[in-house]
Structure 1
Amino acid sequence: MKKHLKIAACLFRLNLASALEYRSSFLTQAFGMALSNSSFIFFWWIAFQQLGGYIAGYSFQDVLFIWATTSSAFGLANVLFANAANVTKLIVSGELDAYLLQPCNVLVNVLCARTSLSAYGDLAYGFILMGLAYHDTAAAWLWFFVGVLLGSLLFSAVTLTAHTLSFYWGDASMIGQLTTEFVINFSIYPDKIYGPAVRALMYSLLPIGLAIHVPLRLFRAFSPLTALAALGASLLYCVLAGVFFSRGLRRYESGNIMATRL
């Protein structure tokens, strides 16, 4: 584990250094993403003004919490593990060969190999929202941090699971893209607006609700049992996603690409 953390930290430093090499592009993409997110919050504010201050039991401040948590969790996932969304391309093109040549864990190497410039804007935006909505509420910040950490792991695990299907079915890029869109949409809206079947999906097959909506509930009314269940289920899902990838890797057929990564 210590070795893997060192590898991940090293790859993060290299990715950050690469991003900062083109600072104008880095800052433009980060700022652009934060600005795009802000426009959605404006429309939410208008909706709450028109509907009397509550939607499906959520206040505007509650929505700011789930938006902040979703934004920073998604941002952190793509700062650290952006290559999860690239797994299908690596499998189909045979570029995964380059990762197999290196003497370290393949999954860690693959996930941490790339970062997203715009994701830094998502990450910062969540903190800005929390500062505006809960600047003096320590408990809200505590559950925000919990949600961001769990959410980043679950976003990455769900994306990885969807793209790992490429080992079995061929090109699963469309499934991966749709899965990412579904997970984001489940995250940024109050969960009570969905029917029972969709809510069950949000807490099982695509369990992002555990990291976004559960922390809000725990902030409102803390329950040790709920907290432990959400934490345990989130970590279990991440472990199963890793196992699923490892099993799929056994089915991988080399692309015979004569290249390696430094």
Structure 2
Amino acid sequence: MFEYTARMFCWHTSVKMQRITIMLDNLRQHRYISKFPKLIAFLKRTGDGYQQNRKSKILTKSEIDRFLSSADDKEFLMIKVGLILGIAGACRTDELVNLTVDDIEDVGSSLIVKIPNTKTKIPRIFGVTDVRNMLELFRKYLSLRPPHVKRLFLYYKAGKCSSQPVGKNTMGKIPSVVASYLKLPDVACYTGHCLRRSSVTLLADAGVDITTIKRHAGWKSTTVAGGYVENSIENKTKIANQVLVGTTTSAITKTVNVSESNIPSNINFENCTNETFNLNVNK
């Protein structure tokens, strides 16, 4: 009877591993599951191939640029500022919610943003430069806020800010709002963690090292940061070149002395991939 009940329970719950775990915890309170070998075999069969995907989807650079350039400020200005700061600083949802105007310093050519309280207890500082009118968007939003409210993010509608601060749930919906506007598939998969994951992924794809990624995201361990570097497009391309083409990433230095009498009309570079060239001109 006990085995039959367990089978029916699994059948009517679509055999999801999370619910099976709950069932097993309940069973352990009364009997040892090791006494039911057929139940164990059944659970293994039904759970075969199951993968639980908890990771949020990410926004690509082109998608971020498209939203910032095409979305109407009258409706999406607060969303744009949240997107900019979240991506620039790999911010968690609660970090954005708790940001105040005193945490941000406008130095003219950039913004210096301080996050004093983080999940890992490691304060972070990041910058926002004037790319794609990001500073203009921030200053425009700041000018519309009531000056007496310290919290940065306030409810925004029809080009006006209220005095009510934005909560965690609203802030966590920013990625899904962006995805919905861009008509991306699986909008619900763009969770509040999307901004942080997108930021670190863009950094890893740019080819930065693990130490920089750890410092940027405020991680103490290299395990998570290493995963982003491992899975980055830039890193996989580099590995593919090493395996299929035989190219390496070792540095090659070549010095060419050019005088006024033998200045070449042009310089050709062939079969170069991810190379850096330093040109020094001495007069």
Greater share of residues in strand: 2
- Is the TM-score greater than 0.5? no
Q: Would you tell me which structure has more helix in proportion to its own residues?
A: 1
Which structure has the larger Rg over C-alpha atoms?
A: 2
> Whose relative contact order is higher, 1 or 2, with alpha carbons under 8 Å and at least 6 apart?
1
TM-score (norm. length: structure 2): 0.25
Q: Using structure 1 for the length normalisation, give the TM-score.
A: 0.27
